Chain A
């Protein structure tokens, strides 16, 4: 087993020893499978994994903190993604502000009239509409969702969508720019803190009345403090733990 251990380390670590490993030997195949299965292929992560293998070989135990690191990595990566998305979303909204733009909520809900309408005007008493729409995330080319001639109850839509359509006339087309706090906010079921661009055409205001909820920000954005450095350190720790557990399995056949 020590031979396999050395060979795996050699496969990862030292190019000059690599040639000494017999091609298609068990060690080489194991090392190959490990290598192609790694989440991160940069040298630091691989070194951390090898340290974990060595620690297990030297009978070092994992601490409680190390055992829980994989969950923490996901949590902090998500926080960092949320922070970055929020910053980028706000920059994007700022870029969209110009003389032609209409502001419903400063810095958070803007719209541009693409085509004027000439029909009935939407007000708080008419909550049901027939519309065409295309929705994109601010940083994506392809639509997140689209629909034609869809009948919608506005009370079931995100606040930015409802209030972005305020006072629209039948036949009007608008492009709306929606801040994440008026869309899905820091959501677990959508990209966190993503601004949306919505193009909507109001086809008909339906006679069925509805109730438009008051405008409020949903999912208040939490104060987040994750940093890239913190995430990188956690990723290294995670690779160390993966290495430790890997060797625990390869050496002892332990299934956990």
Chain B
């Protein structure tokens, strides 16, 4: 009898131990697989959640961060006004509000999420104002996979400007280092923003012409509008261009004047844009000079991601869903 009872107890004890072990194992496993980002999200205060929510909304709804996150754009940049440069007359203006939202949001991101690696998104903020725009620091959203792909595709151009030792990985490390300055070559910037190398280089030429008009006179040469044969476009209003360094651009091959070249470039190009005021999240705007396979791919990727962004923006748990996409 004792043996029968003993066997019964032992059998049930073994079952109980086995079942408990499975439960404990599952519990431990569950704890281990619980994502770190979720843990960080749960440890945030309500105010910090609000700040991060606003940060993501600003970048995804009112900037191009969503296209970076979903992979159709390698990177996007936003400027944050440095406090020393924020004049009282700017306080309360749209740019100021945006800067505060982005700066506060970045600090929360840095505190809770920066150390958690993501294959889809690196968010970085330069620690010093930009070399060219001393009133601003740059906040960058970078999709590492897409950036490496785009730089690799155009590595010769990048090496031509930055030196033969450059690799896509080295450039990524440079761009994500807060202590390093932003790239100063706008042609390369156009490529890493994902507009395609041909579109970027053609448009850059147009930009150079405009920049030379929006700068100081180059003494002792006569009035630039007269010399470059371009009509003064500002109706004689003061625009502060005398405060910018003198820049000189001469007409390129086969053009008699900058005016001719400007008109040619203007005619050759077309805008990719949707009306930004009519769309909830318009696709990024850029100039198209080559309606080739590459450009069509950019446009179709934007259209695909636009739908994903709309879906994300409609989520009640927008913040959690965004973090899930970033980290999973």
Contact = CB atoms under 8 A, between A and B. Distances in A.
The dominant DSSP class at the A interface is: mixed
Contact of A39 (B88, B92, B223): B88
Interface string A236-256: 001000100110111000111
A20 B92 CA distance: 27
A218 B222 contact: yes
A174 B30 CA distance: 87
Contact of B242 (A38, A145, A161, A188): A188
B89 interface: yes
Interface string B200-226: 000000000000000111111111100
Given A190-B242, A255-B97, A135 B220 contact: yes
A133 interface: yes
A158 to B, nearest CB: 5
| Interface bracket on B | 20 to 34
A191 interface: yes
B86 interface: yes
A177 interface: no
A189 B220 contact: no
Contacts of B89: 39, 70, 238, 242, 245
Contact of A246 (B92, B218, B234): B92
Contact of B237 (A39, A145, A188, A249): A188
A256 B92 contact: yes
Interface string A27-53: 000000110111100000000010000
B93 A256 contact: yes
B223 A157 contact: no
Interface in A45-64: 49
A147 B228 CA distance: 21
A168 to B, nearest CB: 14
B90 to A, nearest CB: 8
B241 A188 contact: yes
B220 A39 contact: no
A184 interface: yes
A97 interface: no
Contact of B84 (A36, A38, A157): A36
Contacts of A107: none
B6 interface: no
B119 to A, nearest CB: 36
B242 A191 contact: yes
Contacts of A198: 220
Given A187-B217, A196-B219, A255-B93, 18 more contacts: A37-B87, A37-B88, A39-B87, A133-B220, A144-B219, A145-B220, A156-B221, A156-B222, A157-B221, A158-B222, A184-B219, A184-B223, A188-B236, A188-B241, A190-B242, A254-B92, A255-B97, A256-B94
The 10 closest A-B pairs by CB, nearest first: A249-B92, A161-B220, A37-B88, A190-B217, A255-B97, A145-B219, A135-B219, A242-B89, A189-B241, A189-B217
Interface of A: 33-34, 36-39, 49, 70, 74-75, 78, 133, 135, 144-145, 156-159, 161, 183-184, 187-191, 196, 198, 218-219, 238, 242, 245-246, 248-250, 254-256
Interface of B: 83-84, 86-94, 96-97, 215-224, 227, 234, 236-239, 241-242, 246
